[in-house]
Amino acid sequence: MPSIAIVGAGLIGRSWATVFARGGWDVRLTDPSAETLAAAPGLIRRALEELAEYQLVEDVDAAAARVSVASSPAEAVQGVDFVQENGPEDLEAKRRIFAELDAAAPPHAILASSTSAIVASLFTEELKGRARCLVAHPVNPPHLVPIVELCGAPWTAPEVIETARRFYESVGQAPITVHREIEGFVLNRLQVALLSEAFRLVGEGIVSPTDLDKTVAEGLGLRWSFMGPFQTIELNAPGGIPDYCARYTPFFRRYMADRPSATVWDQANIDRVMAAWNRSPSREEIAERTAWRDRRLTALKAHKKSQPDT
Ligand SMILES: NC(=O)c1ccc[n+]([C@@H]2O[C@H](COP(=O)([O-])OP(=O)(O)OC[C@H]3O[C@@H](n4cnc5c(N)ncnc54)[C@H](O)[C@@H]3O)[C@@H](O)[C@H]2O)c1
């Protein structure tokens, strides 16, 4: 089995450790915060136990035993095949961390960053091993949401992307390839399109935020939990996608002339949305809701696993 170093053991790093330990890999974790590093193995075990409640991991003890901690990135990467970086979302930090990883990791090891929005060319250009670096952007938390967006810099070797793709598939993730660097990759560009319209509709008083959420949770989202927008529209007209476009694009064209502008993100509109939302949960309440979300996601993951793809 290959082995992985997880560099940065915060929210995302711990979840990646859960993914790879569940998948049978040896996992070495590191984080500059001694407190974070000390807490990580226990939190990973708890995540594995929650997965086991839905038969999503076979042997919790064996998976947890595959996780060890290292006191520095240089120590963590000794002998590994793959590195997943999950440090702060800050360009200078990514540059420093990648320089250290490139100097210390074995030559064959692939170096992947979990960055949400910083393209790899911005922090790998000067590296000797820049051909082995890429972005592998997960969604929080990757042990429950399998998508991972793979996006190389112009100098990333194609076989590095292919090998990374195989690694993620082998541990149950769902990688996609983004062929060219673009801000926000794919997932966050889709998300921002939806959020911008949501902030416009609520800001203009056309719908309440609760009813807008219902439109996704009880409408669009039900299909989207197992099929994408292209698969969806193919079934929304008897003649498939060309028929759908012939029927509905006149409205879509009018919409494009009137789509939300950047002003939906002005503070005045955010204030309007917050007034309509009318809630300000404490950190404890947010943590409780997050645990609830993760239980629902685990149940959904188990359900999806039980269903045939076609
Ligand atoms: N939280 C999300 O929803 C989400 C989703 C996708 C991607 N990401 C990306 O994942 C990365 C980590 O995000 P997070 O949410 O886990 O943040 P986090 O704050 O929970 O964790 C970051 C960790 O990095 C550690 N760290 C600080 N300096 C470091 C260094 N020099 N080397 C290694 N580790 C260092 C911190 O101690 C901390 O434990 C970011 O790049 C973020 O954009 C986050």
- Output the pLDDT for position 45: 98
- Output the pLDDT for position 294: 94
Site to substitute for ligand 1 among 98, 116, 144, most atoms within 8 A of C-beta:
116
Report the separation in Å between the CA atom of 110 and the middle of ligand 1, taken as the mean of its atom positions. Answer: 19
Q: How do residues 166-194 score in pLDDT, each as one tens digit? A: 999 999 999 999 999 999 999 999 999 99
Report the separation in Å between the CA atom of 310 and the middle of ligand 1, taken as the mean of its atom positions. Answer: 36
- Output the pLDDT for position 252: 95
Q: Which residue has the tokens 């203009």?
A: 204
Give the residue, by CA position, lying nearest to ligand 1 atom 38: 10
| pTM of the shown model | 0.94
Report the separation in Å between the CA atom of 50 and the middle of ligand 1, taken as the mean of its atom positions. Answer: 23
Report the separation in Å between the CA atom of 57 and the middle of ligand 1, taken as the mean of its atom positions. Answer: 25
Q: How do residues 65-91 score in pLDDT, each as one tens digit? A: 999 999 999 999 999 999 999 999 999
Report the separation in Å between the CA atom of 81 and the middle of ligand 1, taken as the mean of its atom positions. Answer: 21
Site to substitute for ligand 1 among 44, 86, 294, most atoms within 8 A of C-beta:
86
- Output the pLDDT for position 310: 75
- Output the pLDDT for position 176: 98
Structure tokens at 158: 């194609």
Q: What does pLDDT average to over the chain?
A: 97
Confidence of residue 309 (pLDDT cuts 50, 70, 90): confident
- Output the pLDDT for position 219: 98
Return the percentage of the chain with pLDDT > 70, whole number: 100
Q: List the one residue out of 191, 188, 115 whose CA is nearest residue 153.
A: 115
Residues with CB under 6 A from ligand 1: 7-13, 31-33, 36, 86-89, 93, 97, 114-116, 137-138, 140
